[in-house]
Structure 1
Amino acid sequence: MTEQASGVRLDVVRVFCGPDGGHGNLLGVVRDGAAVRDAAARQRLAAELGYSETVFVDDDERGVIDIHTPSVRLPFAGHPCVGAAWLLDLPELVTPAGVVAVRQDGEFTWITARAEWAPDRTLRQHSSPEEVNALDVPPPGEWIYAWAWQDEAAGRVRARAFPGRGDGIDEDEATGAAALRLTHHLGRALNITQGAGSQILTAPGPDGLIEVGGRVALTRR
Structure 2
Amino acid sequence: MPTTIRTFIQLLLRVIEISYPSHWVSDLLHSIIRDTLQSSWRPYQDAPIPASTIGQRHPHIKIQLGPWMADLEVLVASALQLFASPLVLPPQFPSVADTVVFSSKIIPLPYDIGYGGNPALALLFVAPGTNPKASGFTIHKLLLSRKSEGDNVQIVSSILTCDVDFSTRTGTVSWRMHTPRVESMKQAGWRLYLWRLDVSFIGQPLHPFRFTYSHILHS
Question: Structure 1-normalised TM-score?
Answer: 0.29
Structure (1 or 2) with the larger CA radius of gyration? 2
Name the one with the larger strand percent: 1
Q: Which one has the bigger helix percentage?
A: 2
TM-score, with structure 2 as normaliser: 0.30
